[in-house]
Structure formats: C-alpha cells, structure tokens
Amino acid sequence: MACDIIIINVKGDELSIMNGFFTQMSDILILVLNYVLCIRIIPLNKDTLWKKIIIFSGIFITILVYIIGITFFEVVLSKWAVVSLFIPSFILLFCFTKYKDMRFVMTFCFIETIAFIIGFISRYAEIAAGASNTLIPLTVTTALYSLIFFLGRKQLKEYKNLIIKVNSNWTGPAVSSIFLYILLIVIMAYPTPFIQRTEYGPVYLFLCLSVGVFYYVFISSISKTKKIEEANIELQEKNKFYELAYSDFLCELGNRAAFEKTMENLKGQCSLYKNICFVFMDINNMKQINDTYGHVAGDKTLICTAEAIKKVFSPDYSKAFRIGGDEFCVLYFNINKEGIAKLLQSLDNVIEKTKPYPELSIASGFAFWNSDMGDSMMDVFKKADMNMYSNKRQIKELNNNMNNID
C-alpha cells in the first residue's frame, strides 16, 4: 500500500503529505479500503474472526507508523512508504494467506495497482477541477471504492474462487504485474513528481486504463481455464457414470446394456463394415462348478473366461460383452469363417491352459451379417445363439459317450 501515498503528494524533491484535511482523509481511506479489499479477495489459511482481528490490528499499526513518520520526522517519503507500508503489509498478508505462491503475489500487486490508480484519479480530479484541499479527492475515492465493493462484488467473489480452484498459469502474469506496478510508480514519481507535470495526466490515465485491460484479459483467461477444468471434471464424472451403466466390473467387459447400445449404433454404420460376425459363447458345467467348489469359484470361472476372450479377440477389430450370467458375445468386424474358427480354437487353447477347474470349457457358435442380407442384426444374433446351443449339445453328448466308454 506504499503507492497510495507516494503518488498523491509532494514536498520539494520528495513526495510528502498535503496539509489539507480532506486530502489526508482520502489518503488514509485508500489505505484502509485497500486492506479491506485484500481481506475480501485473498483466501486465508483459517478464515476466522480472530485472524481478521490480528490482521487488521497489524494494518492499523503499519498505517499509524507511516503517519507518525511523515508527520513528526523528516523522512524520505517514498522510501518510508516502502519500509512502513508495502513490505510490512506484504509480509503480514503472506503469513496468513492460504496459498503462498504466485497466486498471492499476483493478487497483492493487482490490489496495490487498483489503489495506485484510484489515488491518481482522485488527485488528478482535484487538480483538473482547479481546486486544492477540497472534498473532491475524498468523494472520488469513496465513489470508486463503492463501485468496486458493491457493483463489483460478484466479480470479487469470482476472482477469489479462481484463486482457490485454479493453481496453474499464474507465474507469467504475476511477474508482469510486479513490473507494471513498478512502472506506474516510476512514471508517476520521475523525473519529477506528477503534481509538477499535470499536463501528462491524460497520458498517464490512458496508461492506467491499459494496465486495467491487462488484468481484465488475464482474469478472463484464468476464468476460461477454470471453466475448461470444470468441464473436464464433469466429463470424467459422466465417464464414471457411463462405466457404471455400461460395464461389467467383474469381467471388465461391456454389459448387456452396452451390447444393445452398440447394436443400435451399428444400424447407422452398416456401410463401414464388409460384414459383422456375431460370436456367442457359454460356459459349460457352470452349475457343477458352483456346486462343487462354491460360488466364489463361479466368479473365478467368469473372470478366467473373460480374460481369455480379451486375450484372443483383439479390441481393434472387435467388441466383447458379458450379456448374461455365464453368456458372452463378441462382435467381430470384417472377418471370414476360417478366421473366426481359428480364433475360437485359440480361445479353447487359452482356456485349457488357464482354467482354474477341470470342468471348465466353452460352447460357442457364430453367424455372419452384412448389409445385403435380408435378416436383421438381431436375427443373426439369435442364429449365433442357436449355433452355440447346438455346439453345447454336441459337447454334452460327446462327454456322455466318453463316460459310457469308461
């Protein structure tokens, strides 16, 4: 808050406080309201009443020390403002802020710059009106801060939320804000104080507006970053719900709902595929496995089968689903009968090597669909199901014959 007094007054070559009561009040009001603005925007690590009391007590002491120094001692105003106001206020707020990083640096310089600009405008308004030691600085200061606190309360709240929710992309703007802050002070004080070269007031006002545009663009950019991050979080949440609705978590395959949705989507994509092979599979002896080894064994059997299916049927060319208790279906795109037969043989081999129980085997059947056929996809699916049950009966008859021979 050093800048608030530096830009307003002059005493010889050094800036000093004017004798006018209302100008003094305007200076003090800027200091106080600037601290209030800091408390409104900067998140505290523990936002309690006692912490705010400690902060405001520290603020009161820094202001008091500053006033005593410029009133009773021959101090160099610019240096004294830095020593008694800027540095103590930075350290005080830094100790209590929740985010001790570039977010704090950026915000502190941003608020300091606001005070700097308001101090300039209020003093320049007094000079432009051809008056001195009047109510004009106090009135302008009060009006501008009223606009910030009342009309801009929504924007202040949004900015605080940005500090809390966005923790990236602050370094560059923070460094820029430091240089802009120093630039405003240097141009105002050198080579001579502003009060001695008021003809440059419009130019300096334009510079202040340009700095304001910089902060507006930056805050808008951060706000968009926040919205993108929130959209990504929302998308991730939707994906989680999608997985819950369309995934079989035991087997880590699509479920019946996912199968039906895929079938619906394929109706509009017929021209993309030469053919689609519906492969229907069912676990043999599932009841016997459950009765013999328990229902935990049933889960192990399902998982073993699903892992074998994922290993044999490439996800680049197929989609696999668990569509019932021990029933699985694979949609394989652009393949011929010999290719499917080889894959099913590979599936039998993998299961034979990895099966946890000797009773485990797979019955399978398949049927092809293409866009030139008169049958619907569901008709072909039913045909693949019938072929699977035919294969299941053959396996059962073969096992019975072998048992009779034994």
In one-letter notation, the amino acid at residue 43 is P
Distance CA 161, CA 146 (A): 21
Minimum mean pLDDT range among 183-197, 250-264, 317-331, 376-390: 183-197
CB-CB contact of 257 with 245 (8 Å):
yes
Distance CA 300, CA 366 (A): 25
Higher pLDDT, 225 or 171: 171
**CA dihedral of 145, 106, 156, 144, whole degrees rounded to 10:** 10
Which residues contact residue 52 at a Cβ distance below 8 angstroms, ignoring those fewer than 6 apart?
39, 44
Please list the alpha-helical segments (H only) found in 129-254. 136-146, 153-165, 171-189, 201-246
CB-CB contact of 334 with 369 (8 Å):
no
Please tell me whether the peptide bond between 358 and the residue prior to it is cis, using omega within 30 degrees of 0: no
In one-letter notation, the amino acid at residue 297 is A
Distance CA 122, CA 20 (A): 14
Distance CA 329, CA 117 (A): 70
Q: Which 3 state secondary structure label does DSSP give 357?
A: coil
What pLDDT, on the 0 to 100 scale, is given for residue 368?
Answer: 93
**Whether residue 3 has pLDDT greater than 50:** no
Highest mean pLDDT among 116-120, 326-330, 375-379 belongs to: 326-330
Which residues contact residue 86 at a Cβ distance below 8 angstroms, ignoring those fewer than 6 apart?
1, 2, 3, 112
Please name every residue paired with 276 in a beta bridge, in sequence order, or none if there are none: 333, 369
Q: DSSP letters of 1-36?
A: -THHHHTT--BTTB----S-HHHHHHHHHHHHHHHH
* 199-244: pLDDT as tens digits: 888 888 888 888 888 888 888 877 787 777 777 778 777 777 777 7
pLDDT band at residue 131 using 50, 70 and 90 as cut-offs: low
What pLDDT, on the 0 to 100 scale, is given for residue 9?
Answer: 41
Name the phi and psi angles at 275, rounded to 5: -160, 165
Q: Are strands 318-322 and 327-333 parallel, antiparallel or unpaired?
A: antiparallel
List the strands of the sheet with 247-248, edge to edge.
247-248, 253-254, 318-322, 327-333, 276-284, 361-369
- For residue 240, the Cα-to-chain-centroid distance in whole angstroms is 17
CA 213 vs CA 28, 71, 173, 207: distances in Å = 27, 37, 13, 10
Residue with tokens 């699903």: 306
Name the phi and psi angles at 260, rounded to 5: -65, -35
* 42-78: pLDDT as tens digits: 888 876 778 778 888 888 888 888 778 767 776 655 5
Total number of residues shown for the chain: 406
CB-CB contact of 187 with 204 (8 Å):
yes
Quick one: tokens of 406? 């034994």
Can you identify the CATH homologous superfamily of domain 253-405? Answer: Reverse transcriptase/Diguanylate cyclase domain (3.30.70.270)
CB-CB contact of 253 with 322 (8 Å):
yes
Please name every residue paired with 329 in a beta bridge, in sequence order, or none if there are none: 280, 321
Average pLDDT, the chain: 82
pTM of the entire structure? 0.57
Domain ranges within the chain, ordered by starting residue? 3-237, 253-405
Minimum mean pLDDT range among 35-49, 274-288, 344-358: 35-49
Distance CA 388, CA 370 (A): 20
**Whether residue 82 has pLDDT greater than 60:** yes
**Whether residue 129 has pLDDT greater than 50:** yes
Higher pLDDT, 240 or 321: 321
Please compute the mean of the pLDDT values over residues 135-160 and round it to a whole number.
86
